[in-house]
Amino acid sequence: MRPPFPLSPARDERGAAAVELALMLPMLAVLLAGIVDLGRAVWLHQAAVKAARDSVRFLTRVPTPWSNVTYQTQATNLARTGSLAGDTPLLAPNVAAAFSYPTEALGGLAGS
């Protein structure tokens, strides 16, 4: 029969793994949540960059985009939803697009 108290405290290691797990589990959960959150942030950044590139690419292929509100609306829809019609937002619905063209820097070629 074993004595109720161990003779040497260094020899009794029952439950040590459970204590180590209890100490490490919160840190591992926080680490996992951080990895997921960072991955989501990178994905959102890439989606926003792609939307801006697609919108600018569309505007470079249409004639006179600065004078046609329809082209600007379609470019905004393309940035927000991924389609010209503007069906369902891929990103946050409060994405705004601003169009400005500094005609003074062109030396009067584009008008004033």
Q: Which amino acid is at 89?
A: P
pLDDT at site 25? 96
pLDDT at site 10? 61
Query: In whole angstroms, how far apart are CA 26 and each of 19, 35, 37, 45, 52?
Result: 12, 14, 16, 29, 39
pLDDT at site 101? 54
Q: Alpha-carbon distance 96 to 77, whole Å? A: 10
pLDDT at site 112? 47
pLDDT at site 22? 94
pLDDT at site 24? 96
Per-residue tokens: 83: 């389609």
Within the chain, which residues score under 70 in pLDDT? 1-11, 65-66, 88-112
